[in-house]
Amino acid sequence: MRKTERAKIILRELHKLYPDAVCSLDDDGDSFHFLVRSILSAQCTDRKVNLLTQTLFDKYAGMRDFADADQSALGEDIKSCGLYRAKSRAIIATSAMLLHRFNGQIPSERAELESLPGVGRKISNLIRGELFGIPGIVVDTHCGRVAKRLGLTDSDQPLQIEKDLTACIPESEWIKLGHRFVAHGRAVCTARKPSCEACALREVCLYANRS
């Protein structure tokens, strides 16, 4: 079966399995808070980030508070999310840039977003999709693993995975697809032991049908 035909079936089944899949990072309606959560999520689980930010935003409510923060103090406050030195530096610098260069607004344009410290392609796709509804596929570890096992890509490189997926998936599905791959990667197609016997995608999965 051709890749585009398999992709259609995969989309249909994922839609049935996870009709309401959403980003698992909390969103309190404050775009800047969502950006901070996104930066904190690098190499950290969304669950830990959500837990930490339940209290972090009591201490640092807005952009100005983060821009003026002492780096070592902020580092201590976000330590549980890992990479705390780099993340505290990035959050302070990003907050200052947003205030001084972007008038306190989160930009939607890719090059502008990716000029912010701590924001690479994955986070810019996430921000563009979640805050602005601009189609993009967020390739995280779950998405990359599931896409490769399914045979929609043979790459381990996020940019190439994104290119391979966008070539066989309609643009209108890109944002939801990332969330659905994450949901499937957590629930069924786990890193250590994928539950292929119980998986609705096994008929079209290269990994499950390897000889």
Please provide residue 169's backbone torsions phi and psi, each rounded to the nearest 5 degrees. -120, 135
**Min separation Cβ 209 and ligand SF4, Å:** 8
Spatial CA neighbour of 56 closest among 100, 96, 24, 88: 88
Catalytic pick from 140, 163, 164, 193?
A: 140
- Residue 193 designated active-site: no
**Helices 158-168, 174-187: inter-axial angle, 10-degree rounding:** 120
- Residue 16 designated active-site: no
Residue 136 CB-half CA count within 13 A: 22
119 vs 201 by CB, closer to ligand SF4: 201
75 vs 194 by CB, closer to ligand SF4: 194
Tokens of 145: 């693993």
Distance CA 98, CA 102 (A): 5
Q: Residue 105: which residues within 8 A CB-CB, separation 6 or more?
A: 98
Give the helix, strand, coil percentages of the chain, each rounded to 5.
65, 0, 35
17 vs 97 by CB, closer to ligand SF4: 17
**Min separation Cβ 204 and ligand SF4, Å:** 8
**Min separation Cβ 208 and ligand SF4, Å:** 4
128 vs 142 by CB, closer to ligand SF4: 142
Inter-residue contact 93 to 74 (CB < 8 Å): no
Catalytic pick from 77, 87, 122, 176?
A: 122
Residue 132 CB-half CA count within 13 A: 18
Distance CA 121, CA 109 (A): 12
Q: How much is the CA Rg of the chain, to the nearest whole Å?
A: 18
128 vs 149 by CB, closer to ligand SF4: 149
**Min separation Cβ 202 and ligand SF4, Å:** 4
**Min separation Cβ 147 and ligand SF4, Å:** 9
- Residues of the shown chain interacting with ligand SF4 in the complex, contacts defined by CB under 6 A: 146, 149-150, 188-189, 194-196, 199, 201-202, 205, 207-208
Residues annotated as catalytic are: 122, 140
